[in-house]
């Protein structure tokens, strides 16, 4: 099965890291992703820019608001393979981002036509 790991964080906590702490986070994340690739569990992923627009429909009008008004932001996503939701959750729990406060990962199965 395939799953999306939607990685969210309180952006304030991440941007308060020193350059040395940020470098350490990047190195840990690189090792985490490298392990997923080596195990054949990584399907894809990427980091997301902070800019963007949230589009909502309210009655008969669309409302647009900047994403940076949010308390937390969607930082990145990973598309992984796992045998079931339980394994996908365990993979998510091994993300080194949880060393930082405010880190959250939403684990969602990817629907297929089969």
Quote the number of domains for the chain. Answer: 1
How many degrees, rounded to 5, is the angle at CA 65 between CA 63 and CA 70?
135
Residue 32 maps to a domain: yes
d(CA 35, CA 83): 17
Within-domain flag for 81:
yes
**CATH code (residue 38):** 3.30.70.1060
Q: Is residue 114 part of a domain?
A: no
The whole-number pLDDT of residue 114 equals 64
pTM score, two decimals? 0.83
pLDDT digits (tens, 9 = 90+) for 29-74: 999 999 999 999 999 999 888 788 888 898 889 998 887 655 677 8
Domain that holds residue 9: 2-109
Is residue 71 one of the residues assigned to a domain?
Answer: yes
Neighbours of 80 (CB within 10 A): 22
């Amino acid at each position: 099965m395939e799953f999306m790991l939607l990685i969210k964080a309180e952006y304030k906590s991440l941007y308060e890291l020193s350059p040395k702490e940020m470098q350490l986070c990047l190195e840990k994340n690189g090792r985490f992703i490298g392990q997923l690739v080596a195990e054949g569990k990584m399907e894809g992923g990427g980091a997301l820019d902070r800019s963007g627009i949230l589009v909502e429909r309210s009655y008969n009008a669309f409302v647009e608001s900047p994403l940076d008004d949010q308390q937390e932001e969607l930082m990145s996503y990973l598309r992984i393979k796992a045998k079931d939701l339980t394994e996908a959750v365990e993979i998510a729990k091994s993300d080194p981002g949880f060393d930082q406060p405010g880190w959250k990962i939403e684990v969602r199965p990817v629907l297929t036509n089969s």
